A and B are shown apart, each in its own frame.
Chain A
Amino acid sequence: QKEVEQDPGPLSVPEGAIVSLNCTYSNSAFQYFMWYRQYSRKGPELLMYTYSSGNKEDGRFTAQVDKSSKYISLFIRDSQPSDSATYLCAMRGSYIPTFGRGTSLIVHP
């Protein structure tokens, strides 16, 4: 079993939809949870950074962490075609994060 599991998709949604992206993990030592957005042939861009369980909101993005279930989510409200990208979850206990494979999201007009 991989430490971090993430469905690669692709996930295709219409513009304006609410998108839910998820990762599960197995390592109880993970305390910090991140979401990155990566456009094709670009570097990952840090979207959200959370510590321990709970929710964090930033504009149209909400990150949710449930440590008891070892499950994290990223919600995107009012999705736009410009949100089309690969979304990588990452998590760490010490200083080296472990990344998921990434979920490819396509938002069509």
Chain B
Amino acid sequence: NAGVMQNPRHLVRRRGQEARLRCSPMKGHSHVYWYRQLPEEGLKFMVYLQKENIIDESGMPKERFSAEFPKEGPSILRIQQVVRGDSAAYFCASSPPLTYEQYFGPGTRLTVT
């Protein structure tokens, strides 16, 4: 059983460009969570999704950030018009229904130049 997959692992964008981060959950997992981790800081929750539904986006900035988890395909975290402050490691986690045990992917390291 493959684990949570994220791609790309490293992403470099210039200020003003768009960044798209992808997450494929573990087989049988229908819940996806996105987190951001900055150096010397813990994991900060951004958004919680189920297939075709955003359940909780209370941790996501209101502007420039969006997330989706379509019926088919991976979950995508989109950051428009990136700024240097968006540079961070972005982690996706998935969980099976009801348990909320979260299993993390390897992360995408976004660098904005």
User: In the assembled complex, how far is the CB of residue A69 from the closest CB belonging to chain B, in whole angstroms?
Assistant: 21
In contact, A44 and B43 (Cβ under 8 angstroms): yes
CB contact under 8 A between A100 and B42, given known A32-B100, A42-B107, A45-B104: yes
The reply to whether the CB of B96 lies closer than 8 angstroms to some CB of chain A is: no
Give the 5 A-B CB pairs with smallest separation, nearest first. A43-B104, A99-B42, A99-B43, A101-B42, A44-B104
Kindly provide the distance from the CB of A89 to the nearest chain B CB, expressed in whole angstroms.
9
Chain A residues with CB under 8 Å of chain B are 4, 6, 8, 32, 34, 36, 41-46, 49, 88, 90, 92, 95-102
The answer to whether A101 and B40 touch across the interface, beta carbons within 8 angstroms, is: yes
Shortest distance in angstroms between A11's beta carbon and chain B's nearest beta carbon? Answer: 16
* Shortest distance between the CB of A6 and any CB in chain B (Å): 8
Chain B residues with CB under 8 Å of chain A are: 4, 6, 33, 40-45, 48, 55-56, 58-59, 91, 100-107, 109
Inter-chain CA distance A98–B40, complex, in Å, is: 16
Say yes or no: B43 contacts A46, CB within 8 Å: no
- The reply to whether A97 and B102 form a contact with Cβ atoms under 8 Å apart is yes
Most A CB within 10 A of own CB, among B6, B43, B103, B107: B43
Q: Please give the distance in Å from B53's CB to the nearest CB on chain A.
A: 13
Measured CB to CB, the closest approach of chain A to B85, in angstroms, equals 19
Known contacts A96-B48, A96-B56: A43-B106 contact under CB 8 Å:
yes
B107 touches A46 (CB 8 A): no
Q: Which residues of B contact A99 (CB under 8 A)?
A: 42-44
- B102 contacts A46, C-beta separation under 8 Å: yes
A42: nearest chain-B partner, CB-CB: B106
Q: State how many angstroms separate the Cβ of A84 from the closest Cβ of chain B.
A: 18
Q: Which of A34, A43, A46 has the most CB of B within 10 A?
A: A43
A88 to B37, CA, bound (A): 12
The one of B6, B40, B44, B101 that contacts A46, using a Cβ cutoff of 8 Å = B101
| Given A41-B107, A44-B43, 7 new contacts (CB under 8 A) | A43-B105, A88-B42, A90-B43, A95-B48, A95-B100, A96-B58, A101-B42
